Amino acid sequence: MSEDAGHYPSLEQRVVFITGGGSGIGAGLTRAFHRQGALVVFVDIDDAASQALVEELKRETGRAPQYHHCDIRDVAALQAVIDDVGRTLGPIQVLVNNAANDDRYSWKDIDVEYWDERMSLNLRPMFFAAQAVAHQMMEAGGGSIINFGSISVRMALGDLTSYMTAKAAVHGLTRSLARDLGVHNIRVNTLVPGSIITERQLEKWIGPEEEASIQARQCLKFRLEAPHVAPAVLFLASTASQAITGQELAVDGGWG
């Protein structure tokens, strides 16, 4: 599979902040932005995977992205990392709200505590990261915020009530912030991944039968993986998409 995402000079030396950047789709984004010459900072809670990614990219390029351990459910801690990055590296001009958790859970067993915890992970951090970063982007003269939605919103899937509710709300968040921040030359868009096959998906939910069903729904008959997502995110982050805001871009192999 080719990882040729093109080259965007506007991303060189640009400070990029990625949530959940240590594994899965997020690790693919960290690699892609780092290889563009961006100054990448990512947060995650998986220290082993994140440190391994830092070392991998340091060996490959002679420089390393910055990793900060941060549970994004802790809004104060998340915003503190963002503020620290702005002071030490310069204003963040690209925010990628990637982190989420799509664990399955029966609607019959959901209680208020579980519901609130899922929203605190899958929705709330997107707004408060954008709120903190927006001030830095204003200082820099503009920027790009990319929120991750989900193809699941278009589907009738079971045991994903709280996750799909949060992901549906992402589209409203993007549209509202695009209006509020556009006057400051800050663009806000939603990236909608299809069924991206990661190690976690293969371990927990997707076997041969499930993957065959996925490809039957897709127009393109091949496995979608993290490197397929990164080129679209790079485009939305770069000045090549400077007239695009408030939009949804699907990378789903033609599912919808």
Give Cβ neighbours of residue 125 (< 8 Å, ≥ 6 apart). 19, 72, 73, 75, 78, 97, 99
Residue with tokens 């039968």: 209
The size of the chain, in residues, is: 256
Residue 192: phi, psi to the nearest 5? Answer: -110, 100
Give the span between the Cα atoms of 256 and 247, in whole angstroms. Answer: 16
Question: Is 163 a residue of the active site?
Answer: yes
Residue 19: phi, psi to the nearest 5? Answer: -90, 140
Which residue is catalytic, options 8, 67, 105, 163?
163
Total H helices, total E strands in the chain: 9, 7
| First CA to last CA distance, the chain | 23
Residue with tokens 């496995």: 223
E runs forming strands in 140-185: 143-148
E runs forming strands in 118-220: 143-148, 186-193
The residues assigned a catalytic role are: 163
